[in-house]
A = this chain, B = another copy of it.
């Protein structure tokens, strides 16, 4: 069944007003009509069965006939802090990490990020990424929409992390693997919060690695092959949410 997003402010009691873009999809593309039932979600975790009622002042409305709290959230809250990568890579990362089950996404301007996002440009990008996250939720049946945070620099990220547990993937880490962290130091992480730090295309700079280590962030390798930035994040998030979330 198709799933549609409704802003929370468009739900009044049992009546919902459907966003014009979603309404267009419902009526023109799917050719659904009055009396048909669609599934809607408002991003808060709730899921609604909505019977289409018709148009009122040009807005498609519907009646909620059933509300449920759909459990599609991992028990571990995994925050992906992604060094900003070029072109469409960030789009792919946002889309796929939402499917995999990341809780929120922090786009980070790193020393080796080629793309520099500031001011209006950064804000527009974040809006675009947020809409990709929302679309991914519709598709993967997730009712809580991960938040894409405002672009921040590496220092602000470290402040944000504070003393929360965090893993930085680092291709030159030779002592500690992600696996050994998950099986040892982080084996009590389930039900908690964890930051996963992934560098941009060129990886983290040695200054960034040192600053992270000083703060107690674990550095870890992913094994003998060198993964691209967009592959590394998705592989590591899959592994972490397999071990301590609900994936697999």
Contact = CB atoms under 8 A, between A and B. Distances in A.
Interface of A: 71-72, 92, 96, 99-101, 139-142, 177-179, 182, 222-228, 230-231, 234-236, 238-239, 242-243, 245-248
Nearest to A247: B223
11 contacts: A71-B224, A96-B231, A100-B235, A101-B225, A139-B228, A179-B248, A222-B247, A222-B248, A235-B238, A235-B247, A239-B248
Nearest to A140: B225
Nearest to A232: B99
A244 B139 CA distance: 30
B179 A100 contact: no
Q: How many copies does the complex hold?
A: 2
Contacts of A245: 223
A231 B99 CA distance: 8
A223 B246 contact: yes
Closest A-B pairs by Cβ, 6 of them: A179-B248, A235-B238, A178-B248, A72-B224, A238-B238, A140-B225
Contacts of A226: 99, 139-141
A99 B223 CA distance: 11
B72 A142 contact: no
